């Protein structure tokens, strides 16, 4: 499975997904999109954001949960 993500805020990502949904993109395809992209590492700088994206991509490839937030990590 490939890795697809949107860089930006959750609100912007939700708006884009809604537009895609209105254009007829299948819901199962939209569920594959990571919004926002990257793991929640507290990244601030461009290199840190890149690291969080690479970490999430690696977790996806390895079929690991790659917890996106502490709350979700507790549930895994």
Q: Is 58 helix (H, G, I), strand (E, B) or coil?
A: helix
For residue 67, pLDDT over 70 is answered with no
Vertex 71: Cα angle to 68 and 73 (nearest 5) = 60
**What global pTM score does this model have?**
0.70
Comparing 39-48, 54-63, 66-75, the range with the smallest average pLDDT is: 66-75
Comparing 1-10, 31-40, 46-55, the range with the smallest average pLDDT is: 1-10
71 or 3: whose pLDDT is higher?
A: 3
Cα(34)–Cα(66) distance, integer angstroms? 11
Cα(46)–Cα(62) distance, integer angstroms? 24
Is 4-75 a domain of CATH 3.40.50.620?
A: no
């Amino acid at each position: 499975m490939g890795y697809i993500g949107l860089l930006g805020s959750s609100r912007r990502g939700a708006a884009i997904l809604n537009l895609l949904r209105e254009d007829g993109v299948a819901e199962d395809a939209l569920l594959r999109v990571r919004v926002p992209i990257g793991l929640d590492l507290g990244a601030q700088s461009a290199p840190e954001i890149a690291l969080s994206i690479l970490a999430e991509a690696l977790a996806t490839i390895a079929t690991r949960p790659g917890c996106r937030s502490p709350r979700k990590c507790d549930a895994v």
